[in-house]
Amino acid sequence: MSDHEQNISQILSDLETGVRDLFVSESYFHYLSVMARFHSYSLNNTMLIYRQFPAATYVAGFGVWTKTFSRRIRRGEKGIRILAPVIRRSRVMDEETERYEKRVAGFRAVTVFDISQTEGEELPLSLCQAVNTEVKDYDRFLQALLLVSPVPVIFEEITTGANGFFRPIDRDIHIRTGMPQAQTIRTLLHEISHALLHASLSASDMVSAMRREVEAESVSYAVCSYYGIRTDAYSFGYIAGWSEGQELSVLRQSLETIRRTAEHLIRLIDTVLFP
């Protein structure tokens, strides 16, 4: 086995261990926060960044830091290994035309560094994610959520003890009035996640009720974390119980669902807040 193959094999082995360990530890909260900061990265690379540098906020390769941003890597800093696709062009012949298509031919290990490992010129504001600290207007943020919700939202008194619920048949969300602002946002994001993920599941592909709650609550936590909304009241005590005995493919599928949905919501909300 070549050095390249050994590197990729070791990285993939670490990923499998990381996925299994994640669901049975208190690190799950921290992972969701990292995932939110790197919501456009693949699940594999999000997990790799989290396991090697949990405090990372913005990563780039050596050349990008030095040539594009005029920053240098601090002496002694250890890089973060992630996977980059190897893109190859292949010739495709049609009846009378010839064209080239790009395809992923494999992966290679590359090294990136977090901004905290560098020094030099200041970065453009947008790359520092300063946007997170600017979202302070509750009414504005709430209106953004109402606009991106895939179904109507009804605010009302709820006497059952629930903070909110999504009704798949009627395709609407109900949110209890009178809650603190952070709780209202959290609950609304949770129910919007249900509406995005679980509204059209048929009897044959219905996931367990506990898994649906894990996914919806995780998306809500990740989005709140991204926008700097208080997340200390979240509870995921049932995650270890749900994940026990699950196939690795199922755990990865849920993590990918959470990552993809959080990315989707963050992009939509940013479009409304910062047109």
DSSP states along 163-179: SEEEETTTTEEEEETT-
pLDDT digits (tens, 9 = 90+) for 57-66: 888 889 889 9
| pLDDT (mean) for 87-100 | 69
Q: Is residue 253 part of a domain?
A: yes
Q: 43 pLDDT band (50/70/90 cuts)? A: confident
Q: What is the pLDDT of residue 1?
A: 59
Q: Is residue 157 part of a domain?
A: yes
Cβ atoms 110, 44 nearer than 8 A:
no
pLDDT at 99 over 80: no
Q: Is residue 20 part of a domain?
A: no
Q: 92 pLDDT band (50/70/90 cuts)? A: low
Query: Closest by alpha carbon to 255, among 118, 111, 50, 109?
Result: 50
pLDDT at 79 over 70: yes
Check the CA dihedral 245-186-222-235 and report its sign: negative
Number of domains in the chain: 1
pLDDT digits (tens, 9 = 90+) for 141-182: 999 999 999 999 999 999 888 899 999 888 999 999 998 888
pLDDT digits (tens, 9 = 90+) for 210-266: 888 888 989 999 998 888 887 776 767 667 777 777 787 888 888 999 999 999 999
pLDDT at 133 over 60: no
Q: How far is CA 110 from the centre of its chain?
A: 21
Helices 43-52 + 3-22 axis angle, to 10: 80
* Spatial separation of the C-alpha atoms in residues 141 and 147, rounded to whole Å: 10
Q: What is the pLDDT of residue 5?
A: 65
Q: What is the pLDDT of residue 124?
A: 58
| pLDDT (mean) for 59-77 | 90
Q: What is the pLDDT of residue 137?
A: 77
Unique residue bearing structure tokens 């669902």? 257
CA-only gyration radius of the chain, Å: 21
Q: What is the pLDDT of residue 201?
A: 58
| pLDDT (mean) for 57-85 | 89
Q: Is residue 213 part of a domain?
A: yes
| HSE value, Cβ hemisphere, 13 Å, CA-based, for 110 | 16
Q: How far is CA 1 from the centre of its chain?
A: 34
Query: Closest by alpha carbon to 223, among 120, 127, 144?
Result: 144
Q: Determine whether 80 is exposed, middle or buried from the number of CB atoms within 10 Å of its CB (0-12, 13-18, 19+).
A: buried
Strand partners, 71: 120
Retrieve residue 275's tokens.
Answer: 């047109």
Query: Closest by alpha carbon to 57, among 120, 111, 14, 117?
Result: 117
232 vs 84: which has the higher pLDDT: 84
What's the mean per-residue pLDDT of the chain? 81
Task: Please give the residue range of the domain that contains residue 207.
Answer: 129-273
Q: Is residue 186 part of a domain?
A: yes
pLDDT digits (tens, 9 = 90+) for 10-27: 776 777 777 777 877 677
Element (H, E) at 222: helix 209-226
